[in-house]
Chain A
Amino acid sequence: MVLSAPPRSTPAPQSTKSAKSTALKPRRRIKSASRVDAFAPYMYIAPFFALFAVFGLFPTVFTFYVALFDWNPIGGQTFIGLDNFVTLYGDERFWNAMRNTFSIWILSTVPQLLLALFLAQLLNNARLKFANLFRMTMLVPYITSVVATTIVFASLFGRDYGLINSFLNFFGVESIDFAANTFASHIMVSTMVLWRWFGYNTLIYLAALQAIPKDIYEAAAIDGAGGFKQFFYVTIPSLRPVIIFTIIVSTIGGLQVFTEPLLLSAPGLTGGSGRQFQTLSLFMYEQGFGNFQFGYGSAIGVTLFALIVVFSVINYLLSRRITSDD
């Protein structure tokens, strides 16, 4: 990688044109120095793009290529065109994983953002003592290892010894087999996702809340708007761009939920015996690394990629419409 060719050497000044060359010299020097200056910012960001090209861009592009093959990682590779995609879109396991992914995404994102908004509102209260302590505490689930979180939650949701079932039994409700039942397992996974991300979104909402000018509230109060009206007619409209942002981020994250179902699925990779909580990412992993079908796994990856692009574009268009409404 030769990123810094030295400035082109100036031809030796010719004595016959001495006046010209002395006039030229300093100008050139300035020019070459400014060229370096112009170049420097690219150099500073180059490491990221170099790493991204190697670890981000190349694998992504290569996945598209692998998806066209019957590709055994330790065996042969046969070009089969779009056969993987044809098989995939006729594969009920794929549609099952799709349903699970969307179900878990909605079950985790909607309550999560509502909860985050509510908590941000509370934390923004001027009369709150130790506000910084509470704000920082919100981030603890986010920085806790997903593995640790999943293990703790799995035991809370356990069928025989889980705390939640003991609680239900106390009120005379029969135990729920969270891992075995489709809907219950989605609740279980969603709870873990919610737990991990609500603090992050709370802080983003909080920052946005603090940026809303106080005089808008005062004006609203003078006009006779109470707490609820202020919230719905001042707070929510002001937060719109941030809400759109959190929805986009949670969508991208929600479509890729992987670690929680993987750990709950252990020692298998099927996301429960009926694939009841197998997400698209886990399905991709099962096919690629469990069954050694890299081509098929890549086809799932490409589809997931396309899905995320589509959702991001929809979100983008929505957010543009909403901001232009203002």
Chain B
Amino acid sequence: MSAKRIARTVIAGGAALALLAGCSGGGDTDGKITLDVWTFGGMGLDEAFATYQEENPNIILKVTNAGGSDEQAQALTTALAGGKGPDVAAIEVGYMSQFKAQPQNFVDLRTLGSDDIESSFLDWRWSQGVAADGSVVGIPTDVGGLAMAYRTDLFEAAGLPSDRDEVSALWPTWDDFIEVGAEYRAATGKGMIDNVNSAIFNPAVRQGSEMYYGDGDDDLIYDSNPDVREAFGYALDAIDAGISSRTPSWSEAWNAGMNNGDFAVLAAPAWMMTYISQQAPDTSGKWDIAAVPENAGNWGGSQLAIPAKSDHPEEAFAFIEWLMSPERQLEIFQAHGNFPSTPELYETEDIQNFTSEFFNDAPVGPIYANSVASIEPIFEGPQQRIIDTAILNSLSQVENGEEPAADAWSTALKNVKTALGG
């Protein structure tokens, strides 16, 4: 092999590498505009994407589904760190505080007219996409209105009422809820709920007006906020009363438990109706939906953001505006159960008369609408997720019998301190 041929080979190899490195930059062809959209599983947007594509032939939607919300957050982090990014990125609310703490990575949507659509969204839901400096980083997708899904057959077997209104009346407060769980334990010897994190602490801690932060990034109140302490106490009481079946959410045992009746009650945000019906198809008609104690709660939802590096922010915003319009959100809800974040729909026939066959024809529309109406905006700072993880882990440790309940709160505070110091 001559030196020239070697050189050629090396140069060709180098060129191939350069191509690989450069291929992420999308080009526009024929005057058409390509919008790079990053989503994750369970958002229920596929049909809407197809419709938009049909109605807007000049725009090419390039949708990438990262898998789960964790993968999506990591992919977006990597892209932003490398100075790249899609045109539209979905960010799960759990990650929102981390991203909006660095608003310079995103287009301030106020510059594209977000003020005009703000009023159509739930105010507390909108605020989840607003950064501390007031810039609007993300437009809300659905809202995870919360209810308690429960098994009518298991409630009957335990001698409890099974009618949804009667069940809702059983637990106006968390103390009542725990008492019902204790009765269920006495009658069946089983835990009533899946786990205390999902069914008790998460909903309860979000029912106040403040969580871990007061009114600024540096105003940490996780250790002094009585609401946090109270929610933590409910969870400990529930563990003490034996109402938990100690089944971690999203585990194999959790999926199996929905089928097998290992637990009878499950905190079910609207989007989870689809999940339950897919995981436990044989239990159709055995489930029903009751209100959550204190009748307010949210779990999940996402924001749609436009990274600052996007080449087409205007088109991207027009797309988001269309996608999250009330009409579109209603269609998404009817097809996938993701509950709309635009309250003007709540009084319409479409929501008021919406029932779910799987859930024993429960009027899930009005139940979810009620649960999101009374929520107050909560300020979430950059370390929200880290604090949350440390506290929830402490509760799991008690639930699994690995740590005494008496020390749990001080352990939780200590763990949060360590996590924040790192």
Q: Is A195 part of the binding interface, using a Cβ–Cβ cutoff of 8 Å?
A: no
> Which of B7, B74, B396 is A289 in contact with, Cβ under 8 Å?
B74
Cβ of B3 under 8 Å from chain A: yes
User: Are B6 and A40 in contact (CB-based, < 8 A)?
Assistant: yes
A39 to B77, CA, bound (A): 43
Q: Is the interface of A mostly helix, strand, loop or mixed?
A: loop
Assembled-state Cα–Cα distance A155/B377 (Å): 40
Query: Is the CB of A266 closer than 8 A to any CB of chain B?
Result: yes
B6 touches A160 (CB 8 A): no
Distance in angstroms between the alpha carbons of A46 and B11 in the assembled complex: 12
Assuming the contacts A1-B14, A46-B10, A74-B77, asked whether A87 and B421 have C-beta atoms less than 8 A apart, the reply is yes
CA distance A175 to B171 in the complex (A): 33
Which of A74, A91, A275 has most chain B Cβ within 10 Å? A74
Question: Which of A155, A159, A273, A291 contacts B396, CB < 8 Å?
Answer: A273
- Asked whether any CB of chain B lies closer than 8 Å to the CB of A240, the reply is no
The CA-CA distance from A161 to B1 in the complex, in Å, is 63
Please measure, in the bound complex, the distance between the C-alpha atom of A273 and the C-alpha atom of B402, giving whole angstroms: 10
CB closest chain-B residue, reference A267:
B250
Cross-interface CB contact of A36 among B2, B13, B262, B396, cutoff 8 Å: B2
Q: How far is the CA of A275 from the CA of B418 in the complex (A)?
A: 13
Question: Which one of B78, B98, B105, B393 contacts A274 once the chains associate, using CB atoms below 8 Å?
Answer: B393
Which of A93, A158, A177 is within 8 Å of B422, CB to CB?
A93
Contact A3 B10 (CB under 8 A): yes
Residues in A whose Cβ lies below 8 Å from that of B74: 289
Number of A-B contacts (CB under 8 A): 103
Among residues 132 to 168 in chain B, which have CB atoms less than 8 Å away from a CB atom of chain A? none
The residue on B at minimum CB distance from A296 is B422
Minimum distance in angstroms from B200 CB to a CB of chain A:
15
Q: Is A154 an interface residue (CB 8 A)?
A: yes
A270 within 8 A of B: yes
Q: Say how far B261's CB is from chain A's closest CB, in angstroms.
A: 12
A87 near B422 (CB under 8 angstroms)? yes
B253 adjacent to A159 (CB under 8 Å)? yes
A residues within 8 A CB of B2?
36
B247 an interface residue at 8 Å Cβ cutoff?
yes
Q: Residue A161 contacts which of B250, B256, B400 (CB distance < 8 angstroms)?
A: B256
Q: Is B99 an interface residue (CB 8 A)?
A: yes
B397 within 8 Å of A (CB atoms): yes
Contact between chains at B10 and A161 (CB < 8 Å): no
**Which residues of chain A are within 8 angstroms of B401 by Cβ–Cβ distance?**
180
Bits for B218-260, please: 1 = Cβ < 8 Å to A, else 0. 0000000000000000000000000000110010110011000
Smallest CB–CB gap between B417 and chain A, Å? 11
**Nearest-Cβ distance from residue A89 to partner chain B, whole angstroms:** 12
Set of chain B residues within 8 Å of A43, measured between Cβ atoms: 6, 10
**Complex interface bits, B1-32 against A, C-beta within 8 A gives 1, otherwise 0:** 11110110011011000000000000000000
Chain A residues in the interface with B (C-beta under 8 A): 1-4, 6-7, 36, 39-40, 43, 46-47, 72-75, 87-88, 91-93, 154-155, 158-161, 177, 180-182, 266-268, 270, 273-276, 287, 289, 291-293, 296
Interface residues of B (CB under 8 A from A): 1-4, 6-7, 10-11, 13-14, 68, 70, 74, 77-78, 80-81, 98-99, 101-102, 104-105, 246-247, 250, 252-253, 256-257, 262, 385-386, 389, 392-397, 400-403, 418-419, 421-422
